[in-house]
A = this chain, B = another copy of it.
Amino acid sequence: MKVEGIPCDKCPLRSRKLFRDFTDEELRFVKRFKRGELHVEAGATVLVEGDASPHLYTVLDGWAFRHKETADGERQILNFALPGDLIGLQTAIMGRIEHSATALTPLRLCVFERGDVWKIFKNHPQLSFDITWLVSREERMLDRNLLSLGQRHGEQRVAYLVAQLADRAAAAGVGTRHRIAAPLRQHHFADALGMTQVHVSRMVQKLRARSLISWTHEGLNIANWRELCKFADYEPVAARRQRPFI
């Protein structure tokens, strides 16, 4: 875990076409709030349920996931976070966070302070709106995941998650729709989809039999993107559409 400073004008996210351009004024404004950069190693925990951490983060590089546990220790992965995603905003808005977040890969985070969020609201409508956009987007993804868990059975659930992750990764510029480069294991899928790892394995085999994906020790590849989406009932995000980030 180390902290250093890198100027926002050199922010690697800013150069990606996916993210909307900041005006010079916005850039100057948001710069003041960057408290540093946090590097955590794969597997490290960034946020812990119940914390009232003073920080929130934007993912600059790497994959993380949000998760939550029942009283008897069963873990549910709620969603994944990719570059450009904000994590830990709940601490700033609601005072207390009800989920944990863990790094899936080595992670580079841009650090903000909880109290500064209010300054953004106070002084910068457009950026406040962007923050709300990000929360709404998260809500929308959760809606989709809920639909998946509630109404789709195993094979489709796995297919849906594969499609979603590949699509998001491609959009965030950290992969393509044909290959997921993250070190995702079947037990991650299990925890995200509410099924056992053994069953995930069997469902993956079925998807392989349909020639939709291949999952070897080399990684996870999507053999037929179009068909996968159709099978999973997944609707890809509009490409070329810019989105905000902070």
- A-side residues, CB < 8 A to B, are 66, 68-72, 74-76, 78, 89-90, 93-94, 98-99, 118, 121-123, 125-126, 128-129, 131-133, 135-140, 142-147, 149-152, 191-194, 233
A147 and B90 in contact, given A132-B135, A152-B70 (Cβ under 8 angstroms): no
Q: Return the contact of A233 from the options B70, B132, B151, B152 (Cβ within 8 A).
A: B70
Judge whether A122 and B125 touch: CB under 8 Å: yes
Counting every copy of the chain, the complex holds 2
Can you list 8 A-B contacts (CB < 8 A)? Answer: A66-B143, A70-B147, A78-B143, A94-B136, A122-B125, A128-B128, A135-B139, A139-B142
Separation of A69 and B144 alpha carbons in the complex (Å): 10
A98 and B128 in contact, given A71-B233, A90-B136, A93-B136 (Cβ under 8 angstroms): no
| Contacts beyond the supplied A70-B147, A118-B129: 11 A-B pairs with Cβ under 8 Å | A68-B143, A68-B146, A74-B151, A93-B132, A132-B135, A138-B139, A142-B143, A146-B149, A149-B194, A150-B191, A150-B192
Specify which chain B residues have a CB less than 8 angstroms from the CB of A128 in the assembled complex.
121, 125, 128-129, 132
Judge whether A76 and B147 touch: CB under 8 Å: yes
